[in-house]
Structure 1
Amino acid sequence: MIADALATKALENGFEVIFIGSTSGQDRKYFEGKSNFSYVYFLNSSGVVNKRGFAKVKAMWNIFRAFLVSREILKRHKIEATYSVGGFSAAAASFASLSLRISLFIHEQNAVLGRLNSLLKPYAKRFVSAYDKDSSIKGYPVKDVFFKSQRIRESLKCIIFLGGSHGAKAINDLALSVAQELKKRDIKIIHQAGESDYERVKQEYKDLGVEVELYGFTKDLDKLISRADLAVSRAGASTLWELSANGLPALFVPYPYAASDHQYHNASFIVKNELGWCQREGDELREKLLSTVGKPLEQKSKKLIEYSIKGVADMMIKDIKETLK
């Protein structure tokens, strides 16, 4: 995740780093118990955009309460700068920072500008985006481990299916539909199915007679990615750029209900630059994957490595230091 990449570099530069996230979503799963942050806080907040009526009022009230708590946290730690990566979990701390006149920096993760970042952009010291040609810092902050294990894929011996942090039934079903064909072609399968769908997928692979390396959720995704030669993945920003940094070509299957359809636009950016493939969920998805399995990988893998920019997190932290002088 982008927050983890930034925290690692900030600590290397002598900063105390705290994380303010939400009790909802995936923040706790990634950062509770073990993380690079000096302190982590999870506040009661949830998305507002897709809610109506009382649910919307309640969500806004929770963000306001989280805003008040965030002010106290920022003052307690004497925070000098805040980096927002968008989304509802960033709202409280971002507004709290502005209310305390703490320098706010924004990284837009997606190809479509999120509503929170759009609202905050005029008040930020810096706005960074891998998709914006006018961004002062190019690229996306990815942990060094993805660059260290990068390699050019010359042939397809192993495919990895990634449905995101929650898993994705459409990708799980796609993997199951091609499992026997991949077995015939002697292609190994690594599959992160998501915890909620793990048992069903496990049983179906067993019924098909196909051995796979199956996970519900794992924090060792970098190791799995480095072993694969092709990925089938959602097009969330962090995963997209981690695959790119590792030189792993991918067929992206965008989550159809993502806000502003941002996953499709993320994947379209990759396709436009001839770095990978994209196919929406639907009847043609299986055929698209099987045709992709037969395509050469080396050229796309090389282009991904050439396109990826190493040290973006370093640049972002250096920019903070220069701005605070």
Structure 2
Amino acid sequence: MNAESNTRRLLIAGGGTGGHLFPALAIAEEFLARSEKNRVLFVNAGRPLDHKILDGRGMPHQTITVSGLKGMGFFHKIKVMGGFPLAVKKAADILRSFRPHVLLSVGGYSAAPAALAAKMMGIPVIIHEQNRLPGLTTRLLSPMAAEVHVSFPGTPLKTAGKKIRLTGNPVRRELVACRKKRRKTGDSLNLLILGGSQGARGLNRAVCKALPMLKGLPIRVVHQTGSADFEEVSQHYHGLGMKAEIIPFIEDMVSCYAGADLVLSRAGATTVAELAAAGLGAIFIPFPHAADNHQYHNAKAMAEAGAAVIFEEDRRTSELLVATLSACAEDPDTTEKMAGAALGLSRPDAAETLTSAIMAHMSGV
């Protein structure tokens, strides 16, 4: 028997941001764990983040030269469209070489040409959409997909019809219910601030503006600032004589989630999924310049369940932060109810469910 006859191969197309890549990695790892004969290949647009993350996890990957259309000028769009056939041809060459049984699109520039090539070659296409408001790639590709797996109930995607599956957004298994302790009356509020993500300078500055009014409250702070804002944010804390753990980047996010009572952050899809999995309520300040304001819609799903509050980034943000954090510091029941609501939204089996759906399309292998 041919040694390749029962080898299942999955090509994952997309990337460019952690929000696309981290769920894809969770799926890839689950797929590889199902059989030592399974194989995975990532195809992306070659951004430095793609190389860093995938190389760090030891995942094989190839590059398609392609860029996005949204928010770009007319001539740039013409250039991108002119290069699209070459991107499809490159994708087809990769598909012929790797011979995947299924292509999984996770969004990002490279997903469209790869999925189109797969469809033309008779390879089943499955889509995973991380955000509550579907991205352009998902909207374009959903009519040709065998299945479209979404992360939030009520995701508006009419073009997918009956192919929609509510799966959730895969996260690392060690995050699931990692917050074991419960805050009691008299306990300080352990606040985790995630200001190190893309576009989080506005969040960091809103926090710094609020610090003088938060001084003296029973709040213990861990503040991830990002490397660009580390010095500026540190100076604000030290200038006020406020003790806090201020770090550019958190390596051990699981421990930080486990020790927190409340999180203040942007509302990227991965962050929202991780908070639900960990069982943590949040104050969200969505990145106002995110495509189609998708971070607001992600945050809204948590807020509607009672797991979060949302503040827009404007001149009143600091004032609202002070009022909300003061109330949360006084009343542990507030944050514990939010935490319980967040955990109720968790779909810890998302990676397993999606992997099983992928492998169902490989049943003849």
Query: TM-score normalized by structure 1?
Result: 0.90
Alignment of 1:1-325 (within 5 A): 1-14=22-35, 15-24=38-47, 26-31=49-54, 33-35=55-57, 37=59, 39-61=60-82, 63-133=84-154, 135-147=164-176, 149-151=178-180, 153-154=182-183, 156-163=188-195, 165-293=197-325, 294-295=327-328, 296-325=334-363
For each residue in 1:21-44, what CA deviation from the matched residue of structure 2 results, as whole angstroms up to 9, or x when unmatched?
Answer: 22337423432x31152x023444
Structure 1: which amino acid aligns with 2:191?
I
Distance in 2 (CA, whole Å) between partners of 1:43 and 1:219 is 30
Note if contact 2:44-2:64 (Cα within 8 Å) is conserved in structure 1: yes
> Of the two, which has the highest radius of gyration?
2
Change (3 A) 1:149 1:114: same
- CA deviation after TM superposition for structure 1 residue 219, in Å: 4.4
Change (3 A) 1:291 1:112: same
**In structure 2, the residue corresponding to 1:46 is in which secondary structure?**
coil
Distance in 1 (CA, whole Å) between partners of 2:259 and 2:65 is 38
Structure 2: which amino acid aligns with 1:146?
L
Distance in 1 (CA, whole Å) between partners of 2:243 and 2:302 is 31
For each residue in 1:93-134, what CA deviation from the matched residue of structure 2 results, as whole angstroms up to 9, or x when unmatched?
Answer: 222322322111111111112221111111111111122457
- CA deviation after TM superposition for structure 1 residue 238, in Å: 0.8
- CA deviation after TM superposition for structure 1 residue 213, in Å: 2.5
- CA deviation after TM superposition for structure 1 residue 64, in Å: 4.3
**In structure 2, the residue corresponding to 1:10 is in which secondary structure?**
helix
For each residue in 1:5-25, what CA deviation from the matched residue of structure 2 results, as whole angstroms up to 9, or x when unmatched?
Answer: 111111111221122222337
Structure 2: which amino acid aligns with 1:20?
V
* Number of aligned positions between the proteins: 323
Distance in 1 (CA, whole Å) between partners of 2:201 and 2:84 is 31
Distance in 2 (CA, whole Å) between partners of 1:100 and 1:145 is 38
Change (3 A) 1:3 1:215: farther
Distance in 2 (CA, whole Å) between partners of 1:131 and 1:219 is 28
Distance in 2 (CA, whole Å) between partners of 1:227 and 1:63 is 47
More moved, 158-167 vs 228-237: 158-167
Change (3 A) 1:98 1:185: same
Structure 2: which amino acid aligns with 1:315?
T
Change (3 A) 1:75 1:234: same
Change (3 A) 1:200 1:247: same
**In structure 2, the residue corresponding to 1:255 is in which secondary structure?**
coil
Note if contact 2:306-2:338 (Cα within 8 Å) is conserved in structure 1: yes
- CA deviation after TM superposition for structure 1 residue 62, in Å: 5.1
Note if contact 1:161-1:171 (Cα within 8 Å) is conserved in structure 2: no
- CA deviation after TM superposition for structure 1 residue 148, in Å: 5.0
For each residue in 1:65-114, what CA deviation from the matched residue of structure 2 results, as whole angstroms up to 9, or x when unmatched?
Answer: 44333222222222111111223242332223223221111111111122
- CA deviation after TM superposition for structure 1 residue 258, in Å: 1.3
Query: TM-score normalized by structure 2?
Result: 0.80
More moved, 176-185 vs 3-12: 176-185
Change (3 A) 1:164 1:20: farther
Change (3 A) 1:238 1:255: same
Note if contact 1:71-1:96 (Cα within 8 Å) is conserved in structure 2: yes
Aligned-residue identity in percent? 30
**Aligned-residue CA RMSD (Å):** 2.3
- CA deviation after TM superposition for structure 1 residue 167, in Å: 4.8
Note if contact 2:281-2:341 (Cα within 8 Å) is conserved in structure 1: no
Change (3 A) 1:25 1:244: farther
- CA deviation after TM superposition for structure 1 residue 236, in Å: 0.9
Distance in 1 (CA, whole Å) between partners of 2:193 and 2:324 is 14
Change (3 A) 1:9 1:183: farther
Note if contact 2:179-2:260 (Cα within 8 Å) is conserved in structure 1: no
- CA deviation after TM superposition for structure 1 residue 261, in Å: 1.2
